[in-house]
């Protein structure tokens, strides 16, 4: 699989790159970013996957996430995919809403028309893109972790729970922990997977835990000034599910913080140090 370099910039001694490739999973061109920290020739480095939220592309965290200093110090590769397929022939929301379709792939493989042909973000982020990154960057495939924000927090936690032997750590900022129970998730899962709620459970963190999925532990931050906290995020449901299943959870309520990248960037270094401790153990 070949990639096209869109741009590269030196940062903290490493290289921040943006790349494009033709995706077999989505049937479209996809753009993603990779930060490679300074390292010795021939070294293989641990990798952190970052899954973004609604309306985002790779660019939001790349430009506003403030992760490069910590990644350079800790020796972490940081990969940020897009959140959905894109292109003139890719269907979106009929009413151009922000929470479905373009920029809102919800990290599932759609089964419903007209979305099934392109909206295969689960396959993209768990299979195709990891193979592509491993072929083109100095990744140690045995040392991987995953994190995300909001819709991407949902993606990160479900990816970890369904692939516990691949990922050493998983964390999230303001994740949608129970999409089957909140408006964003109900809309997306109905549109992509159909009305049968049994099909939704593989893409619902709380449901996966209820059904027996395990992971070594999670770090989750959310802000108590987040406008989406009560209606869409419901971190208390994750707290209850992890407690019942004996899954270690560090759940931190951050006073005064909202849903934005001002919040994410504030605690990004904390998360990366937490990941690094597990990736280098």
Angle at alpha carbon of residue 126, lines to 194 and 168, rounded to 5°: 120
SS3 content of the chain, % helix, strand, coil (to 5): 35, 25, 40
Q: What is the pLDDT of residue 281?
A: 79
Q: Looking at the whole model, is its pTM more than 0.85? A: yes
Q: Please determine, for residue 260, whether its predicted confidence score (pLDDT) is greater than 90.
A: yes
Question: Exactly one of 149, 154, 203, 259 is catalytic; which is it?
Answer: 259
Catalytic annotation on 150?
Answer: yes
CB 148 within 8 A of CB 124: no
Q: In what order do the strands lie in the sheet with 29-36?
A: 4-11, 14-22, 29-36, 77-80, 45-51, 139-149, 167-173, 218-223, 249-254
Question: Exactly one of 23, 145, 150, 171 is catalytic; which is it?
Answer: 150
Question: Exactly one of 221, 226, 271, 275 is catalytic; which is it?
Answer: 226
And the tokens for 82? 């897009």
Distance (Å, whole) CA 161 – CA 156 = 9
Catalytic annotation on 260?
Answer: no
Catalytic annotation on 58?
Answer: no
Distance (Å, whole) CA 47 – CA 25 = 22
- Looking at the DSSP bridge assignments, the partners of residue 172 are 148, 220
Task: Delineate the domains of the chain, giving CATH numbers in brackets.
Answer: 4-280 (3.40.50.1820)
Give 137-147 pLDDT, tens digit per residue: 999 999 999 99
Give 4-37 pLDDT, tens digit per residue: 999 999 999 999 999 999 999 999 999 999 999 9
Q: Which SS3 state, helix, strand or coil, does residue 140 take?
A: strand
Distance (Å, whole) CA 212 – CA 230 = 26
pLDDT-derived band at 149, boundaries 50, 70, 90:
very high
């Amino acid at each position: 699989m070949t990639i096209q370099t869109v741009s590269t910039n030196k940062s903290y001694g490493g290289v921040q790159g943006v790349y494009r490739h033709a995706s077999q999973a989505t049937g479209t061109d996809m753009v993603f970013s990779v930060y490679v920290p300074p390292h010795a020739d021939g070294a293989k480095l641990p990798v952190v996957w970052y899954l973004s939220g609604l309306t985002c592309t790779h660019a939001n965290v790349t430009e506003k996430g403030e992760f490069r200093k910590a990644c350079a110090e800790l020796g972490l590769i940081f990969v940020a995919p897009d959140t959905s397929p894109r292109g003139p022939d890719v269907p979106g929301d009929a009413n151009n809403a922000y929470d479905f379709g373009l920029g809102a792939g919800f990290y599932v493989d759609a089964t419903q028309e007209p979305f099934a042909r392109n909206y295969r973000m689960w396959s993209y982020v768990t299979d195709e893109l990891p193979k592509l990154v491993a072929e083109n960057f100095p990744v140690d495939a045995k040392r991987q972790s995953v994190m995300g924000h909001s819709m991407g927090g949902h993606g990160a936690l479900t990816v970890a729970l369904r692939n516990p032997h691949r990922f050493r750590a998983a964390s999230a900022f303001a994740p949608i922990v129970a999409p089957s129970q909140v408006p964003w998730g109900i809309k997306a899962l109905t549109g992509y997977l159909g009305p049968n709620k049994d099909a939704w459970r593989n893409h619902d963190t709380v449901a996966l835990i209820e059904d027996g999925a395990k992971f070594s532990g999670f770090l989750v931050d959310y802000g108590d000034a987040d406008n989406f906290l009560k209606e869409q995020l419901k971190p208390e449901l994750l707290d209850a599910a992890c407690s019942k299943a004996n899954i270690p959870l560090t759940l931190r309520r951050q006073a005064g913080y909202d849903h934005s990248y001002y919040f994410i960037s504030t605690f990004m270094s904390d998360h990366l140090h937490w990941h690094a401790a597990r990736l280098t153990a």
